[in-house]
Amino acid sequence: MKTNSEIIKLDKISKDYKLGKTVVTALKNISVTVRKGEFLAIVGPSGSGKSTTLNIIGCLEEPSSGTVTFDGKNLTGLSSNELADIRASKMGFIFQTFNLLPVLNIFENVEYPLHLRGMGKAERFERVTKVIKEVGLERFTKHKPAELSGGQRQRVAIARALVGSPDVILADEPTANLDMQTGEEILAQMKELNKTLGVTFIFSTHDQSIMDKAQRIIELRDGELRDGGLIK
Amino acid sequence: MYLKLAFKNIFRNKVRSAITLGAIAFGCVSLIISGGFMEDTFTQMRESYIRSFLGHMQVYKQDFYEKGSATPYDYMISDHELISAKIKGIDGVSHVTPRLDFSGLLSIGDTTISFIGQGIDPEGEAKISTSVSTEDGQALSAEDSFDAVLGKGLAKAVGVEPGSSIIVVTNTISGAMNGLDINVKGIFSTSSKGFDDRALRMPLKTAHRLLRTSDVQSLVVLLDKTEDTDRVKAALQKRFKADGDDLEVIAWYEMADFYNKTVELYNRQFTVLKLIIGIIVVLSIFNTMNMSVMERVGEVGTIMALGTRRSGVVRLFMMEGLILGILGGLIGIVSGYILAKLISFIGIPMPPPPGATMSWTATIGVVPSVFAFVFVLAIATSLFSSIYPAYKASKLEIAEALRHNV
């Protein structure tokens, strides 16, 4: 993958939430640029706006003001179908609580995003088998998520995020529900995939040991970038 | 993909799905049993009317049915043997028999009572009036001449029994008075109490002698199958028209006013029942689907985050409703079929319906149209009740939905 070219640009992004008659500001005038192939950490304490920033990058919610550009395309004003198609074709998601579909087995969970792309059965099988092997879960393809440990479930989530060869993978606190050792293993695996596949990773965390693995860190405090955002 | 996911979602909560499927199946069984019971009742009632006195159709002189009640003898069929032969030539006709209707007075001792008389061909009538049962004495036979059979109610009213002698007085077709001494050969009953209370039947040749005529008033036609009524009626009308016969054909349903009103009443009750059961099914599935959406907010957020369109979420939940409807409907119609057969095997003893004299044993008719309707209703109500939950799921805010744990 070609690196160092710009893939995501947040320009003066603000996000307000209405709670009854009160307006709560989650993000204030954030501007961030992410380059292809980066391994970027967004850090900050709870409530600082990390998840909101990831949600806006991932087209999961719209900013109150400002523009988001993804791979050169302005996302402002796109329909929900267009945004869904961008998420399906260009993005992968890893969640803090894994968010696997409990009724599907591991193979089917990883296969799900490929269905959304209308991919044929043979290609789906090939891709899913390959990516499950990459995360070391080939023995568990017929298992349900409930039969796996937290670390194994997060590996399934990584496989699901990777299977469609997305341009960017967004991970919201991917290690928060894991013990320290498993969390480090997961992060090491993400870092390895970033290095070998060149896929851009943007993840949020407030764990110092995980921050140390990041190539670049931006810090949020009360919805604002601290010191212009760039820590590392 | 949605089909597989929908199937798996339905069976994730087996108890709840079983209760929902049970509610749908119960609704289907209720409709099948009640619909089958009604259909069987209609069929037995219809056949009883047809085979007691109406036949499948009756052939009269043109306009008799509308205008003939005041001057019935102006509408006589003289060449009835030739007409009967024509009728028998139509495909689907089983038997044809002539009748001569009249009214008069019946006397025994000091008692005199009015009656409705029918001159019949005993042999032909026996083939048509198979639902007429002889309560006492004997039925009329071809050899009888000065004999008659009386309806149960009429016989009771004048206090006669088989072997009694009565005097029958009536007007001849020219308006003169005539009377005959008649031997009561038997007492009969039909499905109609009103008919049994006033009817007297005698051989056609005796009626001819009493009325001083050789004509008849109607030709009663029995078919092989009731379903052929309209086809045979149309064929007869065509034949009579082609031959220049001044005759009209009245089908059984045009004469069976009580039957028609009963069917209408029952059908209205059945519509109310369908509505009630439909509402039960809708509420049951709505509750299941709504709970399912509420429990799966996090999952809906996840699949939308992965790129599922909102229309895909609608499709998923509608498919779950559809599968519930199909499965519930299938369970319902299979259970309904088995139960219908079982009930029919045992039989339901029924009292005589209003206006009738005979009790009967009801069964549950297996009516393909009822089964088809019930299956379609199960699917339609299931889909209908899934619309709002599916819409609600599709309108979830993704980021908000993701805050719910999967």
Model ipTM value: 0.91
The answer to whether the CB atoms of A108 and B311 lie below 8 A apart is no
pLDDT tens for the 232 residues of chain A, in order: 445 688 999 999 999 998 888 999 999 999 999 999 999 999 988 888 999 999 999 999 999 999 999 998 999 889 999 999 999 999 999 998 899 999 999 999 999 999 999 899 999 999 999 999 988 899 999 999 999 998 899 889 999 998 988 999 999 988 887 788 888 888 888 888 888 888 999 999 887 777 778 889 999 988 898 765 555 5
Rounded CA-CA distance B59/B49 in Å is 17
Q: Are B254 and B49 in contact (CB under 8 A)?
A: no
The bridge status of strand B199-203 relative to strand B111-120 is parallel
- The upper half-sphere exposure of residue A102, i.e. CA atoms within 13 Å in the direction of its Cβ, equals 14
In a domain, A15, yes or no: yes
The bridge status of strand B247-251 relative to strand B57-61 is antiparallel
CATH number at residue A221: 3.40.50.300
Nearest CB among A61, A89, A101 relative to B398 is that of: A61
Q: Are A177 and A98 in contact (CB under 8 A)?
A: yes
Mean pLDDT confidence for B19-47: 88
**Cβ within 8 Å of residue A186, ≥6 positions away:** A151, A154, A155, A158, A174, A175, A178
Determine the residue of chain B that is closest to A119 in CA distance: B1
How remote is the C-alpha of A228 from its chain's centroid? 22
The model's confidence at residue B352, banded by pLDDT at 50, 70 and 90, is confident
Coarse DSSP helix, strand, coil percentages of chain B, rounded to the nearest 5 percent: 55, 20, 20
> What pLDDT does A63 receive?
94
Q: Is B311 on the interface with A (CB under 8 A)?
A: yes
Q: Is A204 helix (H, G, I), strand (E, B) or coil?
A: strand
The model's confidence at residue B65, banded by pLDDT at 50, 70 and 90, is confident
Rounded CA-CA distance B107/B158 in Å is 8
In a domain, A1, yes or no: no
Rounded CA-CA distance B326/B194 in Å is 48
Neighbours of B9 (CB within 10 A): 23
The bridge status of strand B133-137 relative to strand A224-230 is unpaired
The model's confidence at residue B404, banded by pLDDT at 50, 70 and 90, is confident
In a domain, A140, yes or no: yes
> What pLDDT does B354 receive?
65
Q: Are A193 and A181 in contact (CB under 8 A)?
A: no
- Closest by CA to B153, choosing from B104, B115, B107, is B115
Range in A5-9, B6-10, B351-355 the model is least confident about: B351-355
A-facing residues of B in 291-310 (CB < 8 A) are 298-299, 301-310
B32 compared with A184, residue with greater pLDDT = B32
Rounded CA-CA distance A94/A98 in Å is 7
Is residue B357 over pLDDT 70? no
Cα dihedral A22→A23→A26→A28 (10° resolution): -140
Extract the tokens encoding B87: 């009728």
Largest separation between any pair of C-alpha atoms in chain A: 54
Rounded CA-CA distance A6/A90 in Å is 15
* DSSP structural state of residue B351: P
The answer to whether the CB atoms of B399 and A87 lie below 8 A apart is no
- Closest by CA to B166, choosing from B206, B102, B101, B113, is B113
A128 compared with B352, residue with greater pLDDT = A128
What digits encode the pLDDT tens for the residues B248-281? 999 999 988 888 998 898 889 888 988 888 888 7
Give, in degrees to the nearest 5, the angle at Cα B327 between B322 and B328.
95
Neighbours of B133 (CB within 10 A): 16
Mean pLDDT confidence for B102-126: 91
> What pLDDT does A64 receive?
94
Mean pLDDT confidence for B126-135: 84
Nearest CB among A85, A101, A103 relative to B307 is that of: A85
Residue with tokens 């009854």: A20
Neighbours of A21 (CB within 10 A): 5
Nearest CB among B1, B311, B397 relative to A115 is that of: B1
3-state secondary structure A38-79: CEEEEECCCCCCHHHHHHHHCCCCCCCEEEEEECCEECCCCC
Rounded CA-CA distance B131/A17 in Å is 81
A58: chain B residues, CB-CB within 8 Å:
305
Residue with tokens 């990777």: A162
Q: Are B281 and B27 in contact (CB under 8 A)?
A: yes
Q: Is B13 on the interface with A (CB under 8 A)?
A: no
Rounded CA-CA distance A110/A105 in Å is 9
Is residue B217 over pLDDT 90? yes
- What percentage of chain B exceeds 90 in pLDDT? 54
The model's confidence at residue B168, banded by pLDDT at 50, 70 and 90, is very high
The answer to whether the CB atoms of A160 and B306 lie below 8 A apart is yes
Q: Is A26 helix (H, G, I), strand (E, B) or coil?
A: strand
Rounded CA-CA distance B259/B282 in Å is 34
Q: Give the pTM.
A: 0.75
> Residue B143 class from Cβ within 10 Å (0-12 exposed, 13-18 middle, 19+ buried)?
exposed
Domain that holds residue A91: 6-230
> What pLDDT does B204 receive?
94
Extract the tokens encoding B203: 């051989």
Q: Are B162 and B186 in contact (CB under 8 A)?
A: yes
How remote is the C-alpha of B45 from its chain's centroid? 6
> What pLDDT does A1 receive?
45
Neighbours of B234 (CB within 10 A): 11
> What pLDDT does A38 receive?
92
The answer to whether the CB atoms of A60 and B305 lie below 8 A apart is yes
Q: Is A24 on the interface with B (CB under 8 A)?
A: no
Rounded CA-CA distance B298/A98 in Å is 11
Number of domains in chain A: 1
Neighbours of A69 (CB within 10 A): 16
